[in-house]
Structure 1
Amino acid sequence: MSVDGTAATLPLPVPNDRRALVAIDLGAESCRVSLLRWLEQGPRIQLVHRFANHAVERADGLRWDLGMILEGLYVGLRQCAEIATEGVRSIAVDGWAVDYVRLDDQGTAIADPFCYRDERTVAAEPVLHERLSAERMREITGLQLLRINSVYQMFADDVEKKKHSWLNLPEYVLHRLGGRAVSELTNATHTQMVGLDGEWSSEIFAVLGQSIADAPPIVPPGTDIGRVQGELAMLPAFENTRLIAPACHDTASAIAAIPDPGDDWAYISSGTWSLVGTQLEAPVNSATAREENFTNLGGVDGTICFHKNVNGMWLLRQCIESWSTKGTTLDLPALVEASMTFGPREYVLNVDDPDLMLQGHMPERINAQLRRRGLAELSTEAKDAAEMASFLFYSLAARYAHVLHSVAEITGKRFRRLYLMGGGSQNEFLNRLTAEATGLEVLRAGTECSTLGNFAVQLATLEKTGETVSRPACVWAASLANAQQS
């Protein structure tokens, strides 16, 4: 097994049009604007602008600062226009799923969107299932039941809000830039309002009290939805720039960037969440898949992302934030290094405890679970942070191994390799523990896979000949792994 491998690459196909491409990645902790250019020495991917993002607790709930996000994106796009003097051929946006923006009749946001961690869905989830059972919901959608999903958020919205149409965040950004209002398939499936047939479920919409006529049309990944309009279109670089809905869900974009044509690999998208699973040609909604709460989400090129959400680096970051409020600032890489000196305990944390999905007081929440289970608690003091971090890493690795064993049993696949994506893939200690727990060859696919997948889907769309894609997204993704990144 290895944690040092890198994904295979292919010679880069040359696009018909050498203008630059822009990929926007919306993240719950940071947002990025990246540029792909075709230079004499080869393709180059440049991170042009990154800015921090976080949800804000207000009197009316936990919300995203939409104005701040848009302002940061416009700063990055203007910088791209200055750099790419050859012009920008297209822009595409991916990001986290489930959160959405309610719109007025002019297509403008009526309020900042709620964050998926807002606690209003704690009460909404059981009430919704009094009207539509969890079993029936699962039967319709084939999705993992999670209270953060859009369906529970929309059920919690008041009657007045339900009179308004809506767009998920990546599609809203594209709409603000000038594109028509759509719901891209990989993002639409995350709402838990789409049936296994790929269409909005009238049965679910009826239970929500939400008009299905207000739902945006579902389009496949790689759909051209118009061109840049408004103030940005006045810049020479954005003249006739196309807007493309890629795989708008960032995990689907990241999976599209895995350059492996085989069928014997699994993936973990490791960040705030860990998404653990494999890629399939068709959904699996068997009794076992339903019982173990696996999800069937839309992927690129007609595939299915079959996985389970596992609590991820959120646990440690919430601990660090808790310690910082008490006056101790901790460096994450140094904390990871220090955590290696501790061995495993006789028990691990149930990382998917619903209480651990909530914000604030994470060290105390962890101990509350251990106390309920009659297990020895850990120190919640910042001076003992390394021991807490080590305990979390061992617990995550054990959970990954358990979930992957279930994936293999349910799908009938025999895995040999495990690709790690996202910021969490930089954690060498967790990577090693994961390799040991799973027995698989562990390969880092990269920290910015969603950017690569975003660019790959754009290129596959732009290089179409008639109705035939000359090269699928996976080929472009494998080739782009050669691109110099800065």
Structure 2
Amino acid sequence: MTDPLAFAAVDLGASSGRVMLGRAGPGVLELTEVHRFPNRPVRTGATLHWDILALYRGVLDGLRAAAAAAGGRLAGIGIDSWAVDYGLLDASGELLGNPVHYRDDRTKGVAEKVAAALPAGELYAATGLQYLPFNTVYQLVAARGTPQLAAARQVLMIPDLISYWLTGRAGTEITNASTTQLVDPRTRDWSPTVARRLGIDLSLFPPLRAPGDTAGTLRPEVLAETGLTGPVPVIVVGSHDTASAVVGVPADGEDFAYVATGTWSLAGVELPAPVLGEASRRANFTNELGVDGTVRYLRNIMGLWLLQECLRSWETQDRAQDLPALLDAAAAAVPLRSVVDASDPAFIAPGDMPRRIADACLRTGQPEPRTEAETVRCVLDSLALAHRQAVEDAVRLSGRPVSRVHIVGGGVRNTLLCRLTAQATGLPVVAGPAEAAAFGNLLVQARAAGAVTGGLGGLRALLRATQELRVHEPGGASGTTREAWDEAAARCRRAEGASARPR
């Protein structure tokens, strides 16, 4: 039997980054967090930026910790992060400035400019991507005419930028490239027609590469700084963290839906081909490319960002909450008293989220939450309804039957959200693993290195055999009957009509 190999999975999230040390081999799949570091955006003037150099420092510190734990030897390093954002390099390969945060407001009004050059229906038919105001294409159009973009010679998505600094070799990983709204999901290649009509220079993007490719090996100075013994390959994984998270869904068969939870909830199904019709566009579904030729057919939902911002707002008002106690109180609160459209654009920007939620309730004739617990219950009921609607729409639009829902990511730890999602969908919810993105990252690396074999089914079988999962059955408590959820779903649809979402 082959001995397990050691790998480092770098997983950069919107609020924190971590480096995980993984071991993988026949019958073996283990992950240990060796370093975690904050991801704090920085506002300079009117612009919200990512502190990319602090993130890179966190990656180097994490690789040093992984080296110490693994005796200096790693069989590979993989990097995944959030999507859509990018860094610009000049002619000498130097970073031109800190990447702009997707929550920055520079893209306000840009969608109308894009639609004037390329109507929304044509853009969707060409790229299959859900409208989100911060998609890369809108960011690039917003940056048109700026000195930075004029000086740029390369555009690197965030994980590709980290990989470039580690190896000195540039490339564009395909699953993350698909979130730019510049890729044709049928050909899995750039769409020159879209780029031409929007005035975007595709030559700025380095060549596409796929999960399992080798991005390069660590530069000598990186080896020296981290204490690793070379050569150490950086292995291309599904660098969009959701692509890695879907690899990390421990599903058996194809009749499953997934909800990758965290700052965002990404809910949908895995398909062999995109769904590009007008009904799909109007339902605001996206066709993001996945590992092994798959398509992640899903809807982006605001996710636990709503809860995170509520907690932050209360803390700034000297009303800091104990989260476990608050969730217990929310579980005891009246169910489905008020629900909101979890994808209302009013919730995107940082700010006083409890007030925004209360205002959304009042706009739709519902009682505003009176306590912190009622606010949290409103958030979680609304997210469960959004999960339900996304799963039902994915089934209807794709024709893929679903018998269960897998929840992975940080939301796995929120038992109330998992239970409410089971009640709302009427389907069993399998919760776990919480570190799905890191597991998916590790599995793709391990397969590329020969430590494990098989397709996605085989990789997921290894997950099921080695990880602890919890099943939440859909039976509801008093007040959360199927009829109660149906009535709340109707209220939620009315809330959608009152929101500022584009149609």
Mark yes or no: TM-score above 0.5: yes
2:190 counterpart of 1:200: yes
1:52-95 CA-partner distances (Å, limit 9, x unpaired): 11222221411111111111111111111122116111111011
Aligned position for 2:206: 216
Aligned position for 2:426: 439
* In structure 2, C-alpha distance between the alignment counterparts of 1:241 and 1:402, rounded to whole Å: 44
Cα displacement (A) at 1:106: 2.5
Aligned position for 2:76: 90
Q: Secondary structure at the match of 1:258?
A: coil
Structure 1: where are the runs of 5+ without partners? 1-13
* In structure 2, C-alpha distance between the alignment counterparts of 1:472 and 1:40, rounded to whole Å: 14
* In structure 1, C-alpha distance between the alignment counterparts of 2:272 and 2:373, rounded to whole Å: 42
Question: Is residue 45–residue 484 contact of structure 1 (8 Å, CA) maintained in 2?
Answer: no
Question: Is residue 24–residue 443 contact of structure 2 (8 Å, CA) maintained in 1?
Answer: no
**Runs (4+) off by over 6 Å:** 38-41
Structure 2: where are the runs of 5+ without partners? 469-503
Q: Secondary structure at the match of 2:190?
A: coil
Question: Is residue 91–residue 241 contact of structure 1 (8 Å, CA) maintained in 2?
Answer: yes
2:376 counterpart of 1:392: no
Q: Secondary structure at the match of 2:139?
A: helix
* In structure 2, C-alpha distance between the alignment counterparts of 1:366 and 1:484, rounded to whole Å: 37
Q: How well do the aligned residues superpose, as a CA RMSD in angstroms? A: 2.2
What TM-score does the superposition give when structure 1 sets the normalisation length? 0.90
Paired letter, 2:208: I
Aligned position for 2:141: 155
Alpha carbons of structure 1 residues 207 and 38: separation in structure 2 relative to 1, 3 Å: closer
Question: Is residue 22–residue 33 contact of structure 1 (8 Å, CA) maintained in 2?
Answer: yes
Question: Is residue 10–residue 78 contact of structure 2 (8 Å, CA) maintained in 1?
Answer: yes
Cα displacement (A) at 1:453: 0.4
Question: Is residue 45–residue 483 contact of structure 1 (8 Å, CA) maintained in 2?
Answer: no
Aligned position for 2:9: 23
Paired letter, 1:371: L
Aligned position for 1:479: 462
Cα displacement (A) at 1:179: 4.9
Task: Work out which structure has the larger RCO, using CA pairs closer than 8 Å and 6 or more positions apart in sequence.
Answer: 1
Alpha carbons of structure 1 residues 356 and 71: separation in structure 2 relative to 1, 3 Å: same
Cα displacement (A) at 1:483: 5.4
Question: Is residue 149–residue 190 contact of structure 1 (8 Å, CA) maintained in 2?
Answer: yes
* In structure 1, C-alpha distance between the alignment counterparts of 2:76 and 2:168, rounded to whole Å: 12
* In structure 2, C-alpha distance between the alignment counterparts of 1:41 and 1:214, rounded to whole Å: 43
Aligned position for 2:175: 186
Q: Secondary structure at the match of 2:140?
A: helix
1:427-471 CA-partner distances (Å, limit 9, x unpaired): 11111111111111100121100111001101121229xxxx942
* In structure 2, C-alpha distance between the alignment counterparts of 1:460 and 1:394, rounded to whole Å: 39
Alpha carbons of structure 1 residues 288 and 414: separation in structure 2 relative to 1, 3 Å: same
What TM-score does the superposition give when structure 2 sets the normalisation length? 0.87
Paired letter, 1:37: R
1:127-174 CA-partner distances (Å, limit 9, x unpaired): 222221111111110111111211111111142333312111111111
* In structure 2, C-alpha distance between the alignment counterparts of 1:86 and 1:377, rounded to whole Å: 56
Task: Figure out how many residues of one structure are paired with residues of the other and give that number.
Answer: 463
Aligned position for 1:72: 58
* In structure 1, C-alpha distance between the alignment counterparts of 2:260 and 2:207, rounded to whole Å: 28
Alpha carbons of structure 1 residues 263 and 473: separation in structure 2 relative to 1, 3 Å: closer
2:123 counterpart of 1:132: no
Question: Is residue 95–residue 248 contact of structure 1 (8 Å, CA) maintained in 2?
Answer: yes
Give matches, 1:398-409, under 5 Å: 398-409=385-396
* In structure 2, C-alpha distance between the alignment counterparts of 1:84 and 1:470, rounded to whole Å: 23
1:33-58 CA-partner distances (Å, limit 9, x unpaired): 01123699965421100111122222
Aligned position for 1:263: 254
Cα displacement (A) at 1:243: 0.9
* In structure 1, C-alpha distance between the alignment counterparts of 2:126 and 2:25, rounded to whole Å: 48
Question: Is residue 101–residue 109 contact of structure 1 (8 Å, CA) maintained in 2?
Answer: yes
1:371-420 CA-partner distances (Å, limit 9, x unpaired): 333333233xxxx2111001111111112112211111112222111000
Question: Is residue 10–residue 19 contact of structure 2 (8 Å, CA) maintained in 1?
Answer: yes
Q: Secondary structure at the match of 1:391?
A: helix
Paired letter, 1:189: S
* In structure 2, C-alpha distance between the alignment counterparts of 1:57 and 1:86, rounded to whole Å: 38
